[in-house]
A and B are shown apart, each in its own frame.
Chain A
Amino acid sequence: MNLSSQVNRAFFRFLIVSGMILMISVILVILLSMAFYLDLPTFSSALVSAEILSAIRLTAITTTITTFISVVLALPTAYALSRYKLPFHALIDTIIDLPIVLPPLVAGIALLVFFQTAGGKWIEAHIMPFVFTTQGIVLAQLVPAASFCVRSLKAAFDSVDPRMEQVARTLGCSERQAFSQVLLPLARNGLVAGAIMTWARAAGEFGPILMFCGATRYKTEVLSIAVFLNMSIGRVEMALSVTIILVIMAAVSLLLFRKLGGRGYLW
């Protein structure tokens, strides 16, 4: 190889590698600058304050309920999308993806408007009030979380060759048996990984909760709302402490997701 092509190759590689280093640095600098703004005593005292503990508990409860409902809704949907030849497949796909792609505020506004309709009012009167309530948090998280759950569960099902179920059918399995005896065991890790990511996504949700439930201390104060509230009254250390908690949660769930062999990119 002559000198000019060697130089070209080196320059190309330099561009690629520096681009990547720049990307990584941007992310790390932003995240670490938050960490270095605080010191450990401030962080730990914020962590054990009544407000933050309540926010952690509320987040844990609502997010778990949301994830549970999401999985129940998403399992049959993901199975149908993965295994059936549906009419208007592209349309159905788009509809299910909408809540993820829409700006988060839109989900909140849509929920508000729904509960102004006759049907919504009936629900508030006869089942349970949701607007500007604690239980409304679950609904606000559910809209984007359920769609996200469908995506991740579908990815888990897609990773299993449908020929496995076909062969199982020839061996005497009904469709249901092929699902429970072949697909489910093989997709299990991917399904759990998908549920974990759904949980993480729901836990970080902010826009819909703000619009639909409001930002009331303690009452609708999940972790993301806690950041907002504290920032808006100037308590930066509190806000930052909660932010760090959220970052740690995100990192841990991502790690678990990869560990369980979660495939692809769901977002």
Chain B
Amino acid sequence: MIEVKNVHKELGEFSLRGVDLRVESGEYFVILGPTGAGKTVLLECIAGLHNVDRGEVWLEGRNVTKLAPELRHIGYVPQDYVLFPHLSLRRNIGFSLALQRVPLEQIEARTEQLSRLLNIFHLLDRKPRTLSGGEQQRGALARALAPKPALLLLDEPLSALDEGTRAELSVELSRISDELGTTVIHVCHNFDEALQLADRIAIMHQGRALQIGPPAEIFRKPDSAFIARFVGAENVFPVRKVDRGARQVLAGEGLLLSVDNLPDADELLVMIRPEEIEVTRHGRANAAGITAMVDEKGICPHFTLSMVEDRGRIMRLHLRGPLPLLATMTPQAYRAAALSTGDTVSACWHSSAVHVLKA
């Protein structure tokens, strides 16, 4: 179990301003945030490569804040892999074991096991500069895993890879952490990556951890407008509370929205995920859906489909109306609905799709 307690570190333009988090053993924990948030600095503090200015780092119940990195038994894979150029891949992977003077046969066996696990067995006698990005990544991973660390730190492991390699390696990372039971802290700035791999996510911004929770929770119920934007929530509007005390808020020009939660704050925003909006023709609510937006007369307002973006895997529909809305549909659903630009449409969603947050 890893605990970071109120860690402060000043490092030029990247600083940590009081980070608190807890990672359970065996968990796949993702730290997500924009560049400059301090994610790499946090990893380096946990690894012991920096002395923290204030705060503590605890590993498995031991205070390791002042412990040298070589005594922490943590695997670390930096963003640019940093394989030793003067050594072959084989010697790179076996590096930590050779330091511990482990017998040669054992080093060979472990190197073979890891390189087969990561599909780099055929590359063992090559020098790092002759390897591709993906191969170097796997090599660095094998090197970090060789001494069987309890914790593995990954700094943007997939960011520099092409789409195909990224998907492959993503699956392998998941598999490895499951098979070996290693606790993983994975840093990235891509929410889809985090969504796919994480047991829990911490959103970091300007040196602090803002929200920590399972991916679904952050995805659907972000704490703030910043987090909402970061995780791709695009329909975010200011709203006003309704005096009647009912679970409703006022958006735009006199439109009422039913909501499930209502935080206690003066300035509120509402967020509706594009994937949760169902767009249909003729202003008819669909059978199972509940139209959650009504005007004073209790009528579901109409929108005009102003633009459709074909993004290959998803269609993005821009709606003009009482509020500017963005909805997404699968290409198949779009074709089935037979919509086209300029059509008058209805936008419906379930009240649980509406998340209210503080401004």
Instruction: Tell me whether B70 and A174 are in contact (CB under 8 A).
Output: yes
Question: Chain A interface secondary structure, helix, strand, loop or mixed?
Answer: helix
Instruction: Tell me whether A170 and B84 are in contact (CB under 8 A).
Output: no
List of B residues within 8 angstroms of A174 by Cβ: 68, 70
CB distance from A161 to the nearest CB of B (A): 7
Instruction: Tell me whether A170 and B74 are in contact (CB under 8 A).
Output: yes
Known contacts: A163-B78, A166-B49, A167-B78. The answer to whether A173 contacts B86 by CB under 8 A is no
Name which residue of chain B comes closest to A166, CB basis.
Answer: B49
A103 on interface, CB distance cutoff 8 Å: no
Contact of B96 among A172, A182, A185 (CB under 8 A): A172
Q: Which of A173-218 contact B (CB under 8 A)?
A: 173-174, 177, 181-182, 185-186
Proximity bits, B76-101, A CB within 8 Å = 1, else 0 = 10101010111000000001100110
Instruction: Tell me whether B75 and A170 are in contact (CB under 8 A).
Output: yes
A110 on interface, CB distance cutoff 8 Å: no
CB distance from B107 to the nearest CB of A (A): 13
CB distance from B129 to the nearest CB of A (A): 13
List of B residues within 8 angstroms of A171 by Cβ: 70, 95-96, 99, 143-144, 147
Q: Which of B174-217 contact A (CB under 8 A)?
A: none
Inter-chain CA distance A19–B74, complex, in Å, is 58
Size class of the B contact interface (CB-based, 8 Å): 20 to 34
Inter-chain CA distance A164–B78, complex, in Å, is 10
List of A residues within 8 angstroms of B68 by Cβ: 169, 174
Known contacts: A169-B49, A172-B96, A172-B100. The answer to whether A186 contacts B70 by CB under 8 A is no
Name which residue of chain A comes closest to B143, CB basis.
Answer: A171
Q: Which of B47, B70, B75 has the most CB of A within 10 A?
A: B70
B69 on interface, CB distance cutoff 8 Å: yes
Instruction: Tell me whether B86 and A172 are in contact (CB under 8 A).
Output: no
List of A residues within 8 angstroms of B47 by Cβ: 170
Known contacts: A167-B76, A170-B76. The answer to whether A161 contacts B82 by CB under 8 A is yes
List of B residues within 8 angstroms of A170 by Cβ: 47-49, 69-70, 72, 74-76, 144
* Number of residues of chain A lying within 8 A (CB) of chain B: 17
Inter-chain CA distance A164–B344, complex, in Å, is 61
Name which residue of chain A comes closest to B49, CB basis.
Answer: A166
List of B residues within 8 angstroms of A182 by Cβ: 84
Instruction: Tell me whether B74 and A177 are in contact (CB under 8 A).
Output: no
CB distance from B137 to the nearest CB of A (A): 14
CB distance from A261 to the nearest CB of B (A): 13
CB distance from A8 to the nearest CB of B (A): 42
Name which residue of chain A comes closest to B96, CB basis.
Answer: A171
**Total A-B residue pairs with C-beta atoms closer than 8 Å?**
52
Known contacts: A161-B82, A182-B84, A186-B86. The answer to whether A173 contacts B99 by CB under 8 A is yes
Instruction: Tell me whether B82 and A167 are in contact (CB under 8 A).
Output: yes
Inter-chain CA distance A167–B143, complex, in Å, is 10
Q: Which of A163, A168, A172 has the most CB of B within 10 A?
A: A172
List of B residues within 8 angstroms of A177 by Cβ: 99
CB distance from A166 to the nearest CB of B (A): 5
CB distance from A259 to the nearest CB of B (A): 19
Q: Which of B48, B69, B82, B84 has the most CB of A within 10 A?
A: B69
Known contacts: A186-B85, A186-B86. The answer to whether A173 contacts B78 by CB under 8 A is no
Instruction: Tell me whether A169 and B70 are in contact (CB under 8 A).
Output: yes
List of A residues within 8 angstroms of B44 by Cβ: 166
CB distance from A238 to the nearest CB of B (A): 48
List of A residues within 8 angstroms of B70 by Cβ: 169-174
Instruction: Tell me whether B147 and A172 are in contact (CB under 8 A).
Output: yes
Contact of B86 among A161, A166, A167, A185 (CB under 8 A): A185
List of A residues within 8 angstroms of B144 by Cβ: 170-171
List of B residues within 8 angstroms of A164 by Cβ: 82, 84
Name which residue of chain B comes closest to A177, CB basis.
Answer: B99
Name which residue of chain A comes closest to B86, CB basis.
Answer: A185
List of A residues within 8 angstroms of B69 by Cβ: 166, 169-170
Instruction: Tell me whether A163 and B74 are in contact (CB under 8 A).
Output: no
Inter-chain CA distance A110–B244, complex, in Å, is 92
List of A residues within 8 angstroms of B85 by Cβ: 186
Inter-chain CA distance A172–B69, complex, in Å, is 7
CB distance from A168 to the nearest CB of B (A): 8
List of B residues within 8 angstroms of A163 by Cβ: 78, 80, 82
CB distance from B43 to the nearest CB of A (A): 10
List of B residues within 8 angstroms of A168 by Cβ: 84, 95
Proximity bits, B44-69, A CB within 8 Å = 1, else 0 = 10011100000000000000000011
Inter-chain CA distance A32–B180, complex, in Å, is 71
List of A residues within 8 angstroms of B72 by Cβ: 170
Inter-chain CA distance A174–B68, complex, in Å, is 8
Inter-chain CA distance A64–B99, complex, in Å, is 36
Name which residue of chain A comes closest to B75, CB basis.
Answer: A170
Q: Which of B35-49 contact A (CB under 8 A)?
A: 44, 47-49
Q: With A164-B82, A167-B76, A173-B70 given, name 10 new contacts (CB 8 A).
A: A161-B82, A163-B82, A166-B69, A168-B95, A170-B47, A171-B96, A172-B70, A173-B99, A181-B99, A186-B86
30 contacts between A and B (CB under 8 A): A161-B82, A163-B78, A163-B80, A166-B44, A166-B49, A166-B69, A167-B76, A167-B78, A168-B84, A168-B95, A169-B49, A169-B70, A170-B48, A170-B69, A170-B70, A170-B74, A170-B75, A171-B70, A171-B95, A171-B144, A171-B147, A172-B96, A172-B99, A172-B100, A172-B147, A174-B68, A174-B70, A181-B99, A185-B86, A186-B86
- The list of the 7 closest CB pairs from A to B, nearest first, reads A171-B96, A170-B76, A169-B69, A172-B99, A167-B82, A172-B96, A172-B70
A interface residue numbers (CB < 8 A to B): 161, 163-164, 166-174, 177, 181-182, 185-186
